[in-house]
């Protein structure tokens, strides 16, 4: 039996974080925020994982894999980060979808 049959698939979430002037954060500020986030993730264990984040002028859009939405909110609470909306990804499309 392959190991893949034992993999647990967790939902993916997109988190919108309203952070005024996010696009003007320095590399040192982004490093500090990232370190704080990773510290909280280490506390929470394997039920939540940060994939990446997209920075816009006044928001961060973060992509996480987590056991549930509550874990995402717990991460935000413990880290002191805003989590203005948390939405589960139900599908993905890209240019190949048009083929």
Going residue by residue through the chain (99 aa), what tens digit of pLDDT does each one get?
Answer: 455 565 668 999 999 999 999 999 999 999 999 999 999 999 999 999 999 999 999 999 999 999 999 999 999 999 999 999 999 999 999 999 999
- Domains in the chain: boundaries: 9-89
Residue 13 · residue 63 · CB < 8 Å: yes
CATH superfamily of 9-89: ORF SCO4226, nickel-binding ferredoxin-like monomer (3.30.70.3090)
Number of neighbours of residue 15 by Cβ within 10 angstroms:
24
Instruction: Find the helix or strand (DSSP H, E) in which 40 lies.
Output: helix 27-44
Q: Hey, which residues does 59 pair with through a beta bridge? A: 18
CB hemisphere CA count around 86 (13 angstroms): 18
């Amino acid at each position: 039996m392959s190991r893949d049959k034992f993999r647990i698939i967790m939902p993916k979430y997109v988190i919108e974080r309203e952070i005024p002037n996010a696009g003007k954060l320095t590399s040192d500020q982004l490093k500090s925020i990232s370190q704080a986030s990773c510290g909280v993730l280490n506390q929470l264990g394997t039920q939540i994982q940060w994939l990446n984040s997209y920075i816009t002028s006044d928001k961060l859009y973060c992509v996480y894999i987590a056991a549930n939405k509550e874990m995402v909110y717990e991460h935000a609470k413990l880290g002191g980060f805003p989590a203005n909306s948390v939405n589960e990804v139900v599908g993905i499309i890209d240019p190949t979808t048009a083929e």
